[in-house]
Amino acid sequence: MTRPNILFIQADQLAANALAPYGNKTVKAPNIDRLADEGVVFENCYCNLPMCGPSRASMHAGRLPFAIEMYDNANEFHADIPTFAHYLRGLDYRVEMSGKMHFVGPDQMHGYEKRHTTEIYPANFAWTVDWSKGREYKPTNLTMAPIIESGPAVRTLQMDYDDEVAYHGTQALYDLARKDDGRPFMLTVSFTSPHSPFVIGQEYWDLYDHDDIESPAVPPLEENTMDHLSRNLHYCQSRHEFTVTDEHRRMARHGYYGMISYIDEKIGQMMDVLEKTGLSENTIVIITADHGEMMGERGMWFKQHFFEWASKVPFIVHAPNRYSAARVKKNCSLVDLMPTLMDMAAGEAWDGYAAPIDGHSLVPALNGNTDAMNDLCIGEFAADGSTGPSRMVKRGPWKLMWLEGVDTLLYNTDDDPNEVNNLADDPANADLRAELEAILFDGWDPDTLRVQIRASQERRLAIHKITGGEPSYVNLVREDDDRRYIRNAGAADTKAKARLPYVAPAKPDKVA
């Protein structure tokens, strides 16, 4: 079989739990459903850090985030780290991208030959976390305002961006189809939806009956029953300053589902182009996300934690001519993407890596052999809402979270999918906890990391203060791209102001 083309589609903040192939009964995403029905669905795929920038850099490098000094949304992704884009080019692939990737620093390509759009978010140090300010530091304005503002609109900033991403993505497919030199391609198309705020065009809002939108399965927790990281997030996100009602939660979920339907429509358009151009016979389509979205579960929003809604992502591989439809239960994570792509491209197990990788190829599992999977994934966290490093390990159904050395949580996600029964202190699980902790701390020293991460923050904060955020580093496609979308401004406030019709940003209703 000839070398495959690869179409890699990534959504932002799309929780696996929000899709029908992962059990959701409400969302309407028929194109994703079809790809899942005809493809291989990895039921337990996790991001390696539940925040945009570190997750995406880690995914590209095939390495755990802390190993490449990716801690928050303002860490530079160093240019000397090889990515799958570099390696695929080494195999004579055309490697292009349309959309968001949240690369920070002067290198805005990281191996891609062509980027068809600018970034939507800052590419400099504007969003550096500052542990010296404690748990209430809010570098990206992740407050409850975007939740309270949820609803339909004529137009949003995110629709502006994603329409541009979709246009350039489909045009790239047409352009690639015209080439007739035997070179395969790898095209990444990365959307910003369904990232908060949960506002979408009226036509997508109207796909749902508001009364059919379900409430979170787990109600908000009292502060004294939260784990340490959840308490941090409670303050970082200013949940103590806003009143979030049941109707706010339903409006947010309604908007989130509408945004998923909007992205699903664009996925369908790209699949149509593959069919029309004859590319579908030899193109592997992969759908995933950078992290999930808590969507009001436990009273929590956004990402920034290891709970299922925040850290589990869809991972669907569609290539009916190569891989039979199947569902894979064993654990995997986004660092497995690089070796999987390389084995797909090479047609065999590929070993030409110039630097260590932490991932494992999923190609054997795609071919029906899951025995080689290690059924293990690791997540890390030191981003917005943290006051120190945290780590998670999941093996089989068991998930262990070590949260800054203050709390340890242990859940069996098969028996307890909503993660409400912490078994960490159950004597019956003492041996299991010890085994998982041995994996978690292997080569991972939180005391050393705390010093390293804080030093990184101080350097970046100083540079940004001195320079005022210049240069912006943002990828320039149009001459005014350094002034479009979100640069040094707070994301939530900018998105609210870009909504049509204008809706005044929600303000706190309580004294902190």
- Counting Cβ atoms within 10 Å, is residue 241 exposed (0-12), middle (13-18) or buried (19+)? middle
Coil, helix or strand for 367? coil
Nearest to 86 by CA among 62, 66, 106: 62
DSSP per-residue string spanning 318-351: E-TTTS--EEEEEEEEGGGHHHHHHHHHHTS---
CA distance 482 to 472: 7
CA distance 475 to 103: 9
Coil, helix or strand for 486? coil
Angle in degrees, CA 288, 293, 299, rounded to 5: 165
Contact criterion met (CB below 8 Å) for 185 and 95:
yes
Q: Which residues contact 467 (CB under 8 A, 6 or more apart)?
A: none
For the beta carbon of residue 239, count every other beta carbon within 10 angstroms: 20
Buried b (16+ CB within 10 A) or exposed e, 52-76: bbbbbbbbbbbbbbbbbbbbbbbbb
Residues noted as catalytic: 52, 102
- Counting Cβ atoms within 10 Å, is residue 300 exposed (0-12), middle (13-18) or buried (19+)? buried
- Counting Cβ atoms within 10 Å, is residue 188 exposed (0-12), middle (13-18) or buried (19+)? buried
CA distance 292 to 275: 30
Amino acid at 49: L
In 385-467, alpha helices (H): 430-441, 446-467
Give Cα separations from 492 to 86, 256, 504 (angstroms). Answer: 34, 15, 12
CA distance 338 to 483: 33
- Strands ordered across the beta sheet of 390-395: 376-381, 390-395, 398-403, 407-412
Angle in degrees, CA 106, 111, 115, rounded to 5: 75
CA distance 502 to 512: 27
- Counting Cβ atoms within 10 Å, is residue 508 exposed (0-12), middle (13-18) or buried (19+)? middle
Give Cα separations from 464 to 84, 447, 470 (angstroms). Answer: 30, 26, 8
